[in-house]
Amino acid sequence: MASPTAPTIDASGISAPSYAEVLNYLQQQYRSIYGADTYLGNDSQDGQFVSLIALAISDANAAFIAAYNSFSPNTAQGNGLSSNVKINGIRRGVSTSSQVDLDVVGQAGTVITGGIARDVNGKNWLLPETVTIPPAGVITVTATCATTGEVSASVGQVSIIATPTRGWQSVTNASTAEPGAPVETDSALRQRQKFSVALPSRTVLEGTTGAVESLTGVTRVATYENDTKITDANGIPENSISLVVEGGDVADIAQAIANKKTPGTGTYGTTAQQVIDIYGRPVTIRLFRPTYQAMTVAIALKALAGYSSVVGTAVQQAVSDYINSVLIGGGLSGSVEWADAITAANSVPNSGTFKLTSLVISGPGGSGSPDVVLAFNQAATCTPASVVLTVT
């Protein structure tokens, strides 16, 4: 029979008695030895001694449970989780610098070695070690900011050639920079591990998505397939796939798509990247970077007893967080949903101190009716400051 103070492993997992249960058991055993009238209060030496033993057993049980849980990516933490996900061929993301896709224009055949572009704020962006201008005269590469941390760059701001090279004519960014990130959190790594198991999936499309999701720096992916003989409503050509990818290196993303897609399947997008197949032939892979749609929200609240500005700030943050969490293209609904924004606002602590009387979401094209529709390659963004409260 298992000890009443030890952890137990059964079909439902691992469990252990609480500190109070361990202490009660030890006190019973102590009294069975020294007499039922033995005083074991907290102010007695014997009571304190038994409490110390109970605490040591409880701490050991907690360590056993943590060790048991470390074998599963669903419950492991820290280094244990980092070790687990290696089974899936991925690793925890380290802190990163901001990245931006640059269109490098120049004379065909020009080789740029150690190239650096500079933005209007004086920040340097490092091109790949070697960039060769193809016959088309333009190539898209992913540059990394020389300054670590969250460095932003809007469209067209990275436009200065910091290392002049004969044949390199111009540089610009057609999309905004992806900000740098801190060390990947446990929750984010678990999510990426879940996507990574799609690599050996039953369908090629799932495998392609999983391969891209597992790349370092990739934060969101939306995958579309047109298996018909005509161009679909999103403009995707016949027998083609289209991936909208946020974050990550464009060369790595293109390589992952090329490795997974089936022969004869076309790729569609505004960002083109050339990769070399196993036979040494150049293949152009196309994809989209998300186009960001800044959202504003107007909320009217009726203050009730206990309402304070702290509650209002929480509402602004909750609604902003919801909008930023909406999938690229709006997911199944294809929109930023009005009802979900209301749910987010009413989910804050002390929500009983106000009554929400109206909520209007607006995008670049105007206010929703009431949802704001997103195109398949668009992503919604919102800051707490863009959530305007009117409190009466």
Where are the domains positioned within the chain? 8-69, 97-172, 198-289, 292-391
User: Full-prediction pTM beyond 0.75?
Assistant: no
The per-residue pLDDT for range 181-208, each reduced to its tens digit, is 777 787 877 877 776 665 555 678 888 9
Measured in residues, the chain has a length of: 392
Give the model's pLDDT for residue 13.
84
What number of other Cβ atoms are within 10 A of residue 172's Cβ?
A: 15
The per-residue pLDDT for range 279-337, each reduced to its tens digit, is 888 999 999 999 999 999 999 999 999 899 999 999 999 999 999 999 999 988 899 99
Token pair belonging to 185: 């959190």
At 348, the amino acid letter reads V
Beta strand 335-336 pairing with 240-247: unpaired
Helix (H, G, I), strand (E, B) or coil at 103: strand
Token pair belonging to 26: 């030890």
